[in-house]
Amino acid sequence: MGSDSSVASTGLPSKVFGALHLLVSLGIILAMDKLLKKAFVEAAIKFPSALFGMFCTFAVLTILDSVVPKAAEGLMNFFEPALLFIQRWLPLFYVPSLVVLPLAVKDVPAASGAKICFILVGGWLASLCVAGFTAISVRKMVKTEMIPAEPMAKPSPFTSLEMWTWSGIFLASFVGALYYPTALGTSARTCLPFLLSSTVLGYLVGSGLPSAVKKVFHPIICCAVSADLAAIAFGYLSKSGLDPVLGDYLTKAASNPGAGDILMGFLGSVIISFAFSMFKQRKLVKRHAAEIFTSVIISTLFSLYSTALIGRLIGLEPNLTISILPRCITVALALSIVSLFEGVNSSLTAAVVVLTGLVGANFVQAVLDKLGFNDPIARGIATASSAHGLGTAALSAKEPEALPFCAIAYALTGIFGSIICSVPAVRQSLLAIVG
């Protein structure tokens, strides 16, 4: 019976088997995130559910590794297709907040917008310096020799077939939405196919641009521009205007999701996937724990409290200051953090986080060189602690030796930020500073 099943499985075309493997492994992570989110809402637990899922996954892997190492290795191998999928499409999950930026900033006064930009750029640079100098100082004290990191698998590059396929989907769905606007029911469902395909198409085009162009025109900006142009074109041709179309892009309604809701639905899975990357680099984390944890804790506290203080000193409205507190924390957890406060603009939170990442992605290497941060540990930690995933992706593309420290610090910054903000006394102290 066992041999028959193995013959049947090996008889399947490898692409079909690979697709099934991806669907099952990714489906389990998505289902885990959804079930935990539902359970936490019903229990009125404020702590981020995806973070709890990450801790549970990491605990299971660690226990299995100490009891049955082969089982832990098998689990890692089983989920690898899902992890590569998340890594391949990660920037897309940040895009919705940039696409709807015109709606998010509509009620923000121009003077307040200028203050937010000042905090965003100045805060990024300050956080990078604090994290980098802390890492260097601790490195000098502990004098730990570096060990090679575990090799990290890379997702496959995009193909011309994918480009043409998504182009066809966009054209067909755009024309269909124009001429048959009620075919799918609600306006959000009508716009979903062409808005989603235009976003993906923008990412494919942006990813294929020359490196020199990417420094100015990051793929994530290309995504947002592509989706916004599609929204503008549809709003003009359908005479509905831009705002309703953008409103359908990110509805935040589970019963009537838009393209942006579909993409942001993966953010919880991104957090859970941190467990696998941290487990893979557990030896590195253990060996350089002093540098990593000290830098992450100090830079995260600095980021939160300095944002609150500067916001008050320059006269930024308290609700806007609270909205941008987690500027250096990855979107999924930043949104969880601001949900702990009242009266915040979560769309602004997501947009500021993404813009911080874009600033880091474009300037991090030049600034690190200027500051004389030559140690891979310091470069990796400083980048991830100040510009999370987008900064990490930009640095790791050219400095693979810094990638493990980027990935670890990227995850730990969000984890520590979420934990510390879950403490009522910390939230009260931040609110007191904001005023």
In this predicted model, what pLDDT tens digit does every residue of 119-174 receive, in sequence order?
A: 999 999 999 999 999 988 998 888 777 766 666 777 788 889 999 999 999 999 99
The per-residue pLDDT of the chain, averaged, comes to: 86
Per-residue pLDDT, 9: 47
String of DSSP letters for 122-141: HHHHHHHHHHHHHHHHHHHH
Q: Which two three-digit tokens encode residue 323?
A: 């909205």
Under the banding of pLDDT at 50, 70 and 90, the label for residue 234 is very high
Residue 325: both structure tokens together: 């507190």
Place of tokens 């911080």: 356
Single out the residue of 119, 183, 128 nearest to residue 311, CA to CA: 119
Residues 403 and 396: beta-carbon distance below 8 Å:
yes
- Max mean pLDDT range (279-283, 384-388, 421-425): 421-425
In terms of Cβ atoms closer than 10 Å to its own Cβ (0-12, 13-18, 19+), residue 270 is: buried
Q: How many CB atoms lie within 10 A of CB 293?
A: 16
Task: End-to-end CA distance of the chain: give it in Å, rounded.
Answer: 70
What pLDDT digit, counting tens, does each position of 293-321 carry? Answer: 999 999 999 999 999 999 999 999 999 99
Q: Is 227 exposed, middle or buried (0-12, 13-18, 19+ CB in 10 A)?
A: buried
Distance of CA 146 to the CA centre of its chain: 28
pLDDT, residue 147, reads 65
Point out the least confidently predicted range of 4-18, 21-35, 94-108, 206-220: 4-18
Check residues 160 and 396 and name the one with the higher pLDDT. 160
Is residue 322 pLDDT above 90, yes or no?
yes
**366 Cβ contact list (under 8 Å, min separation 6):** none
Residue range 269-293: mean pLDDT, rounded = 85
| Three-state DSSP state, 171 | helix
